[in-house]
Structure 1
Amino acid sequence: MAKVTGGKAVYGASVGILMLDARFPRIPGDMGNAATWPFPVHYRVVRRASPDRVVRQGATGLLDAFVDAARDLVGDGVDGITTNCGFLSLFQEELAKAVPVPVATSSLMQVAMVNRLLAPGKRAGVLTISGSTLTADHLAAAGVPPETPIGSTEGGLEFSRAILGNESELDVELARQDNVEAALSMTEAHPELGAIVLECTNMGPYAADIARVTGLPVFSIVNFITWFQAGLVPCRYDPPAG
């Protein structure tokens, strides 16, 4: 038997996820539901980092807590770091400097790449949980081109209210309706859209519904981190025997 070398506290979970301190339900497809992932993940909750504080208050005063939590995950043995809020793009540079593994803070980091996939004259739009507080700084930190169309679930009945209010109950069908209607409104206002990128990591459960009603490709944190993990731990393909 070959010798192996230790050094990690946790084995088999290559992706470490920095979690907001929240209690709202996390259904399958949500980044915070471990059953969403086709591979093991390792979570670390950043205490006092509430949805309201991160999304509506710019995560003020929380950088050190996120850096400490990221370092703890690396110490446990993860090979890459992500977060469960697209608004944490603000911390991309600082977190990447603080740890020796790749960092992908935000689904927004996909926008520029998705634009390169589209036909001339087409571009990606962003669907966010809070259009009123998604600033130019958030977008620039993720490399999102200026003038990218932005849609939001803020005007809906359930999704933004329940998530940002950190409610203990979520009406999933109303949340689905909010996401679909917000996406349709954005596509109607911007006929040049060729794809949609979901900023919010809680929008994953509704990606298929959004794609169905808009007829557009939809990119979420789920596909982004699945791609990320595939680079951290590439599949091994052995030659056929014989």
Structure 2
Amino acid sequence: MDEKPLIGILMLDTNFDRPTGDIGNPETHPFPVAYQVVENATTDCVIKYGDTRLIDPFIIGAKALENKGVKAITTSCGFLALFQKEIQRELRVPFYSSSLIQIPMVQHITGGMVGVITARRSSLTQAHFQGVNAHRTPIAIAGMDDMPAFTNAILNETINLDRKAIAIEMQQVTLKLLAKNPIVKAIVLECTNMPPYKSAMREVTSLPIFDINTLTDYVAGGI
């Protein structure tokens, strides 16, 4: 008999490859998960436009996951921090929209500035941080905006995902972030597609790295 899913995951409507470590790969998780794709929730709608018309479809998808018996729900995009409060108040189970929720905790336990690496720096606003009550924490932000392997595979979906090329780009952005902000004490990865490249990042920094998987493991341990 199959185990009931512990965590429910609301997925954007995308088609790119998801290697182990990506939230969309069930092998990433040491416990059973359930997926629910939210139709028409494209990366453009969520990341570029922050389309509020998606709130209701995400709530409907989350309730479908509740009906499957999950104990907590998350999403496949950190930019959904924008809608954390609107979605959470409609649900019976814990809901955490984004890895960005960890920012205040990371600052408290490291005692310094938190570096955030995001899929698209030009779209990440103060409102996203306010959505998860992380807007008062000192942060430094770097984005993958100018990284073609990442952007074209994951945001634009115009090329196949090249893990080696993206790993190099993740190293480059990490080094740029730390060169500009040497007082950063830890890094939070906004994007749920970035964890597969943490080992590459650790080749260029020894700082702690937090992501959607560290948060999910934390929540799973509590429920």
TM-score band (shorter)?
over 0.9
Q: What RMSD in Å do the two structures reach over aligned CA positions? A: 1.3
- Of the three residues 172, 179, 201, the one matched with 1:181 is 172
Q: Would you say the 8 A contact 1:25–1:168 is kept in 2? A: no
- Of the three residues 20, 35, 57, the one matched with 1:28 is 20
The aligned residue for residue 130 of structure 2 is 140
Query: What do residues 84-110 of structure 1 show as CA deviations (whole Å, max 9, x unaligned)?
Result: 100001111111111111011100000
The aligned residue for residue 126 of structure 1 is 116
The aligned residue for residue 169 of structure 1 is 160
The one-letter amino acid paired with 1:104 is Y
Q: Where in structure 2 are the equivalents of 1:23-62 lying within 5 Å?
A: 23-62=15-54
Matches of 1:37 and 1:100 in 2, distance apart?
23
The aligned residue for residue 194 of structure 1 is 185
Matches of 1:70 and 1:222 in 2, distance apart?
19
The one-letter amino acid paired with 2:95 is V
The one-letter amino acid paired with 1:148 is I
Shift of 1:11: 4.8
The one-letter amino acid paired with 1:222 is N
- % identical aligned pairs: 38
Q: For residues 65 and 15 of structure 1, do their structure 2 counterparts lie closer, same or farther at Cα, with a shift above 3 Å needed?
A: same
Q: Would you say the 8 A contact 1:24–1:167 is kept in 2? A: no
Q: Secondary structure at the match of 1:158?
A: helix
Shift of 1:177: 1.2
For the pair 1:158 / 2:149, whether they are aligned, the reply is: yes
The one-letter amino acid paired with 1:193 is V
Q: Where in structure 2 are the equivalents of 1:216-231 lying within 5 Å?
A: 216-231=207-222
Q: Secondary structure at the match of 1:213?
A: coil
Q: Would you say the 8 A contact 1:27–1:205 is kept in 2? A: yes
- Of the three residues 183, 197, 212, the one matched with 2:203 is 212
Q: Would you say the 8 A contact 2:126–2:135 is kept in 1? A: no
The aligned residue for residue 73 of structure 2 is 81
Query: What do residues 94-129 of structure 1 show as CA deviations (whole Å, max 9, x unaligned)?
Result: 11111111011100000110000114xx22110000
For structure 1, the 5+ residue unaligned runs are: 1-9, 233-242
For structure 2, the 5+ residue unaligned runs are: none
The one-letter amino acid paired with 2:8 is G
The aligned residue for residue 104 of structure 2 is 112
How many residue pairs end up in the alignment? 221
Q: For residues 41 and 160 of structure 1, do their structure 2 counterparts lie closer, same or farther at Cα, with a shift above 3 Å needed?
A: same
The aligned residue for residue 240 of structure 1 is none
Shift of 1:168: 5.9
Matches of 2:33 and 2:158 in 1, distance apart?
25
The one-letter amino acid paired with 1:183 is T
Matches of 1:219 and 1:158 in 2, distance apart?
22
The one-letter amino acid paired with 1:135 is T
Q: Would you say the 8 A contact 1:23–1:168 is kept in 2? A: no
Q: Would you say the 8 A contact 1:49–1:59 is kept in 2? A: no
The structure having more radius of gyration, on CA atoms, is 1
